[in-house]
Structures are given as structure tokens and as C-alpha cells.
Amino acid sequence: MNIPGTPSLFFLAYLFLFLPWMAFRSHRRLQQRGPTPGEIRFSDPELERIWIGTLVQQLILLTLAWLVGRDFQYSLWRWPPILLPTLVATLLALALCFVVRFALRCTMAPIERRSLLVYALAPRSRRQWCLKTLVVLCASLAEESAYRGVCWQIVAWSTDSFWLGTLLSAVAFAAVHRIQGWKSMLAISLFAVNMQALVWHTHSLLPAMLVHAVYDAIVILQIARQAARQRQSHSEQPAS
């Protein structure tokens, strides 16, 4: 057992305690707005404030990951050594993300899928799409740097265990997505393990960042289209 330095301990406390606490507090606040996520509605200003706040949080996370990683000479931007195997592994990791998403959706009834909070959070205007795009790009850099990079390095070095580092970083990553529900948190933990395997295989965070960005972009487009259809269907229903 190795004891990490003060910056690393602070970073672990931030990931394992502070961010999950913030996520669970946000979940409780949302529960006060409606009995089910599907009944929650956000105004345009509320939605924009949510994305701006998320963007600030991701920038803070990226900055902390860079500073702490630099403290023990860990590079966030190391280029993969061999490109062709990296490309194949990246495509396989992206495909596996969609397999996990498909499996998750199969466990949900149609009404359960339609009531997910992600539909209420879907961007509706050009300004919201710009903010959401920035959030996706920043989250791809920040979360991979923090969880698959610096966090894993600290935990794996401290415990002398690749698997414990992978498990704990995946749990921490899933915990900050509490508002998406327990089933989604399980899928997100599987995403995290998938990304960690990609980082291990390619010796670089960059492929994982790319998979994260592409996957999120495609899924958000699908969610936004479905959310638009739901709003249209809702507006066409006759008033009782």
C-alpha cells in the first residue's frame, strides 16, 4: 500500500466525496420538482443555467486533473504509439458503448424510457445546442483525464492493483450521474470499464476522449429528436 501525496489525496476526495455529494443533492432537488423525472419541465433560462454550470464544473475538473497529474509527471495528451491497432480498438470501444446502451434500453419499458430526465434536459434552441456542444467537448476531455487518467493512476499506484483502480474510478464516475437513475448508473460504470480498457490498450487518453465525444454527440442527437417528438405529441393532445 502506497500513500499518495497531498494533491492526489485532495483530488481523490474531490472525485469520491465532493462530486458525488453534489450529484446526490441535485437528485434530491429534482425529486422535489416532480414525482417522476418525466414530469419535470425546465424553462429555457433554467436549461441554459444548467449547461453553463456543468461547463464550469467540467473546466474545474479538467484543470484539477492537469495540475494533479503534472505533480507526478503524468501526461494527459500522450499520443498513441501505434495508430492502426489504436484505430481498431477505438472503433470496438465505440461499438461496445452502443451495445451497452442497447442492453440498457432493453431493460426499460417504453414509458420508463420516455420518462428519463435526459429528455427534459435535451437542448431546444440554437444557444442551448452551442452550450451543450461545449459541454460535450469539455466533458470528453475532463472526465477521461480525471477518471480514466489521473484518478486511475493514483488508485492503481496506491493499491498496486489495476482492477481496483478500474473499479473505484468507475464507481466514482457512475456516482456523479445519479440524476440519470440507477440503471443508467450501472451502464455508465460499464462505459467506464470499457474506456479504461481502451486507455490501457492504447497507452493514451486521446482515443477514449474521442469515443466519449462521438458517443455523447450521437446519443444527444437521438435524445433531442425524441424529446422534440414528445413535445409535439404533447402539444397536439386536446386539452381536457
Summarised one tens digit per residue, pLDDT across range 191-226 is: 999 999 999 999 999 999 999 999 999 999 999 998
User: Contact at 8 Å (CB) between 76 and 152?
Assistant: no
**Tens of pLDDT, residues 81-130:** 888 899 999 999 999 999 999 999 999 887 777 777 888 888 988 999 99
Q: Is the pLDDT of residue 36 over 60?
A: no
Nine-digit cell string for 172? 466514482
Residue 235 pLDDT grade (very low, low, confident, very high; cuts 50, 70, 90): low
Say which residues have a Cβ less than 8 Å from residue 15's Cβ, sequence separation at least 6.
146, 147, 151, 169, 172
Whether residue 26 contacts residue 20, with contact meaning beta carbons closer than 8 Å, is answered with no
- Global pTM value: 0.91
Q: Which residues of 200-225 are buried (b: 16+ CB within 10 A; e: fewer)?
A: ebbebbbbbbbbbbebbeeebeebbe
Residues in the chain: 240
Cα 1 from chain centre: 29
Q: Using 50, 70 and 90 to split pLDDT, how confident is the model at 240?
A: very low
How many Cα atoms within 13 Å fall on the side-chain side of residue 21? Answer: 6
Per residue in 45-66, pLDDT tens?
A: 999 999 999 999 999 999 999 9
User: What phi and psi values does residue 124 have, to the nearest 5 degrees?
Assistant: -120, -25
pLDDT, position 226 = 87
Q: Is the pLDDT of residue 38 over 70?
A: no
Q: How many helices (H) and strands (E) does the chain have?
A: 11, 0
SS3 content of the chain, % helix, strand, coil (to 5): 80, 0, 20
